[in-house]
Amino acid sequence: MENISIKATPKTPTVDFIAESGKVEIKGRSIPENSIEFYKPLVDWLDSYAADPKEETEVNIQLEYFNTSSSKCILDVFKKLEAIHKDGHNVKINWYFEEDDEDMLEAGEDYQSIIKIPFKMIETEEE
């Protein structure tokens, strides 16, 4: 299975989806011109990964900002992860937010209330 590795741009986040280690990372800003186009390969990859996931899948989400259309796509990513979790596999979601960023903390809490996977909220120092 091919890994996905996408370098960040001013409008899109860094993405590292690594099948062998069960690591899924999205980091940076997510304001792509077309969110669905950007996130579709990620959702498709998770579909393939779900057929044979690792014992533990670790998800690290560290977004400094995302727009409304990205939020829907991120939810789609979480729904795929939730399906893996429901199949009896261990999925850990680490949601990173900067210490004064109430909006990002609330966004993580909102996702946590929708998705039935344990979230770990991790406060980071502002850079």
Averaged over successive runs of 10 residues, the pLDDT of the chain (127 residues) comes to: 96 98 98 97 98 97 97 98 96 96 96 95 86
- pTM of the full predicted structure? 0.95
| pLDDT value of position 127 | 61
Say if domain 4-124 classifies as CATH 2.40.50: no
* Contacts for 15 with CB less than 8 Å, ≥ 6 apart: 4, 5, 6, 25, 26, 27, 42
Residues 95, 15, 85, 58, CA torsion sign: negative
Residue spans of the domains in the chain: they are 4-124
Residues 10, 12, 17, 23, CA torsion sign: positive
| pLDDT value of position 125 | 85
| pLDDT value of position 91 | 97
Alpha helices in the chain (DSSP H): 35-50, 68-86, 102-114
The two tokens of residue 94 are: 């680490």
